[in-house]
Chain A
Amino acid sequence: MRLDHKLIVSAVEEGSKVLDLGCGDGTLLALLKEQKQCHVSGIEINEQAIYEAMAKGVSVSHGDIDSGLEDYSSKRFDYVILNGSLQEVLHPKKVILEALRVGKKVIVGIPNFCHLPSRLQIFFTGRVPRTKGLPYDWYDTPNLRFLSIKDFRDFCHKHNIRITKETAVLGNRRMAFMRNVLANQGLFLLEKE
């Protein structure tokens, strides 16, 4: 199991109602359903991924998370998950605030664009970095937003969003210090008063 999935599954309480925005092939939702008896649903934009997610027995609806949340009533979900999808949306601020409206808690997983190898590539090669976690060329990438763990903390502070838990990951290891330099992924548990 991927470490980020493991950390998310352990953070979610049993029997919760969970919405995964950009749920892909439904792997994480299937884990939450099996291991935490959660009531799960997802939104996904890729048709092929939906077939795979439905094969895992989860409810998925076809749509764009940039425009997909106004259908849901407030605080309808215990958790809304945005794992690895936030950097691909057009209106991240709107999506996070909407996620905090429909969910009591929001779990966000972001790729850290200021991870050390990226910094070194920029510094030494003078080119936009391509790493294992971010393997795309600038002209052919699903990523629209480039942010670091620090940037995300700043965003939450500015918008009065409380980070109740933060974890940083490098591959299959958790990073306890110098997260913004050493980790390639940040995971946050958010709440808003």
Chain B
Amino acid sequence: MADLGTVKTQFVTFCETPNELLLKSGEKLGPITVAYETYGQLNADKSNAILIFHSLTSDAHAAGFHEGDKKPGWWDPMIGPGKAFDTDKYFVICANVLGGCKGSTGPASTNPKTGQPYGLGFPVVTIEDMCVPQKMLIDHLGIKKLMNIAGGSMGGLLAQKWAIMYPESTESCILIATNTRHTAQQIALHEVARQAIMSDPDWENGVYYNRTIPARGMAVARMIGHITYMSEKSMDEKFGRKLMRKEKVGYDFSTDFEVESYLKYRGESFVQRFDANSYLYLSKALDYFDLTEETGDLIEAFKPAKCAFLVVSFSSDWLYPPYQSQQMVKALKANDLDVSAILIESSYGHDAFLIEVDNQSKVVSHFLQRFEKKSNAVRS
């Protein structure tokens, strides 16, 4: 399979004064910049577009390579020529979410009113709020109806909300390793990560830009995150009780086990690439997510949705367990919607949505083929 080669992030700005975006919290925010990438060609009647929503710590760079980078985008095995989201046929778009830190407006962006980074002055945003600038992007690109929207984990929350908020704007929706409301356990895990960041003395109530970043707190937050993304089995298979460059344990508090070293490495590398405040805001947006918030009932919540759905879950995912996907499927069916669903056997835990490429590709590619307009294929 060929790859996409070098790709570039693009930027577009909406909601300039006085047309600021009214957020769910009642606050107003503007201007809002959206960072996005596109792969493949938009066909003549703009009927082959797919919008991909990223997960908590991912970004607009879903596939291909940035100039000089050795690592491709976060879902490169799934997006590209001949891959599940086949860029020979489809025009794939991925945008950084509102509140993020990879080019879209977020707490690290400059507040036009103060000339300083927003920090905690940034308004709290919800998943619903995140959908709005992305809809503006789709309108800006002149796309009236997407062929598909897709998202895993947090991306799946955006995709569900989108299918309900803009029912006429997509033919189909793929929801992977996601759920319809954040449960107490999910909120609790996020709260531990937030407390780790906020109790780091360098966090300084969010005013750390151009100073020392709260690196220790961020690293701990990421370590917790990584534990929740794996399963007990996948951790044991990967690390077992293997020691780190030693023959026997040290009887001290140095790094004994490989798993400790791995978590520390993951934590430290995360600090370099992600903004602590952004982590706080995004994790909070996830915790606020509850599709039944207004209707009190999941079937009622999906009522406005019109598109066809594919729901994918993974057997060992304990962060977004399969039973939550099954509840989603039940509610979609109760609305007489066209639903496909699969529970993929995997030992990789929540990370399976990034790792289980083969089986996921099979279902995604065949599902997408159903919505192709044959006469409008970009290339034959």
Contact = CB atoms under 8 A, between A and B. Distances in A.
B and A form one assembly = yes
Interface of A: 41, 47, 50-51, 54-55, 57, 59-63, 70-73, 76
Interface in B296-338: 308, 311, 326, 329-330, 333-334, 336, 338
Interface of chain A: mostly helix, strand, loop or mixed: mixed
Interface of B: 308, 311, 326, 329-330, 333-334, 336, 338-345, 359, 362-363, 366-367, 369-370
A54 B366 contact: yes
Given A47-B345, A71-B329, A60 B359 contact: no
A23 to B, nearest CB: 12
Contacts of A73: 334, 336
B329 A47 contact: no
Nearest to A47: B345
Given A59-B308, A61-B341, A71-B329, A51 B334 contact: no
B330 A71 contact: yes
Given A71-B333, A72-B334, A51 B363 contact: yes
The CB with the most chain A CB atoms within 10 A, among B334, B338, B340, B369, is that of B340
B311 to A, nearest CB: 8
A73 B330 CA distance: 11
12 contacts: A47-B344, A51-B359, A55-B362, A57-B370, A59-B338, A59-B339, A59-B340, A60-B340, A61-B311, A61-B329, A61-B340, A63-B329
B336 A76 contact: yes
Contacts of B329: 61, 63, 71
Nearest to A72: B333
Given A47-B343, A62-B341, A62-B342, A55 B308 contact: no
Contacts of A54: 340, 342, 362-363, 366-367
Contacts of B326: 63
A50 B311 CA distance: 13
A33 B336 CA distance: 18
Contacts of B363: 50-51, 54
Contacts of A59: 308, 338-340
B241 to A, nearest CB: 32
